[in-house]
Amino acid sequence: DAKIFVEDQVIQDDIIAALKAIEDKEFNQKMAEALESEKKSDLVTAYRLYVEASKIKPSDKFVRDKIKELAADLKNLGNEAKNDAEFSRLLRLGDTSVGNAKFNEAIQYFKVALKIKPNDPTALSKLSDAEKQLALAGEKAKNDAEYTRLMAEGDASVKITKYAEGITSFKSALN
């Protein structure tokens, strides 16, 4: 009985060693693939492979740390993608507003975009252009109002036969 028990124990030890070797080989393969994916910046695949490796060796500290690290990196990438999409959306809205001569609205869109990406050269340039166009539009509106006033003044002078004053008003309107 003792001899059978010893042989059973040896066989059991051999089986355990063989299973551990298989487990180590699978673990090492998953780790190698995960590291390679990480080198290629394929963080999603790396994360998946580290999770698979952790199922083989749940107590491995390196794997647990890598899973936490990649989870944070993936979350940051998600936030970056959302910010990039929002930034692009705001620039498009600003461009549309400029195209519709809604310069104040465009300026607000570009300013919000700059809160997402401060000092972005594209957003800064678009903001500057919209501000210039707003100033030009304000100047044009002022000139148009003055033109309209002078033309009305000239018309009123002509109606009451003050032709010289009417001509002066019309000439001023043309300048």
DSSP of 73-129: HHHHHHHHHHHHHHHHHHHHHHHHHHHTT-HHHHHHHHHHHHHHSTT-HHHHHHHHH
Treating both helix axes as pointing N-terminal to C-terminal, what angle do 61-99 and 103-116 enclose, rounded to 10 degrees?
A: 170
pLDDT in tens, 45-66: 999 999 999 999 899 999 999 9
pLDDT in tens, 4-60: 555 676 667 767 676 677 678 888 899 999 999 989 988 889 999 999 999 998 999
pLDDT in tens, 73-128: 888 888 888 999 999 999 999 999 999 999 999 999 999 999 999 999 999 999 99
CB 87, CB 122: distance < 8 Å: no
CA 43 to each of CA 40, 62, 95, 139: distance values in angstroms, whole numbers, following the listed order: 8, 16, 35, 54
